[in-house]
Structure 1
């Protein structure tokens, strides 16, 4: 699987949506995030302090899978804007070096 940096903003909540419906979807979103983490599709997720967006490291075979089979399964997906950026290893990544060293042992 490849890794993708995904910035998600929940900015399309329809007018007239009740607070109860928003709370229900957010609760379902948390459950789904845990499921995606368990299957290896969600590696990390952050919310910048004071902002209404999330930034995460997501895993999939390609960008189409990120959109369709991963993000598309989120309960808040219809209300979201997602910016997806494919990532590749950096030669100076200390984590990659540790992984390479561990393979050599």
Structure 2
């Protein structure tokens, strides 16, 4: 099953630039691992307000519990909130093989 996850990150007040850079590096490394595992399919940046840190991600998981395990493994989870939308195939999806 695929899930669209709207991830909004808020850096805690007082976090140093070095701390933010370290968190971004760790998140990028974990994201690469999730891509290799087939759990993370795509990432997008929606239009952002000034100072907003937000990402949309397309994830694949067997179920909501497995998705939660994946999301919990990401370092930025400590600083973000997420809105998860389960996606189901559309019968006219041009990306699906014909039936």
| Same fold? TM cut 0.5 | yes
The structure with more radius of gyration: 1
1:28 matched to 2:26? The reply is yes
Question: Separation in 1 of the partners of 2:12 and 2:25?
Answer: 18
Instruction: Check whether the contact 1:5–1:84 (CA below 8 A) recurs between aligned residues.
Output: yes
* Structure 2 unaligned regions, length at least 5: none
Question: Separation in 2 of the partners of 1:57 and 1:84?
Answer: 10
Q: Pairwise CA RMSD of aligned residues?
A: 1.4
How far 1:50 sits from its partner (Å)?
3.5
Query: Could you report, residue by residue, the CA deviation over 1:30-79 in whole angstroms, capped at 9, with x for unpaired residues?
Result: 11111100000001111124452111110111112212x11101111110
Instruction: Check whether the contact 2:48–2:54 (CA below 8 A) recurs between aligned residues.
Output: no
* Structure 1 unaligned regions, length at least 5: none
The aligned residue for residue 98 of structure 2 is: 100
Number of equivalent positions? 96
How far 1:8 sits from its partner (Å)?
0.3
Instruction: Check whether the contact 1:63–1:84 (CA below 8 A) recurs between aligned residues.
Output: no
Question: Separation in 1 of the partners of 2:47 and 2:88?
Answer: 27
Question: Separation in 2 of the partners of 1:90 and 1:25?
Answer: 37
Instruction: Check whether the contact 2:7–2:54 (CA below 8 A) recurs between aligned residues.
Output: yes
Query: What TM-score, normalized by structure 1, do the two folds share?
Result: 0.84
Q: Which has the higher helix share?
A: 1
The aligned residue for residue 6 of structure 2 is: 7
The aligned residue for residue 60 of structure 1 is: 61
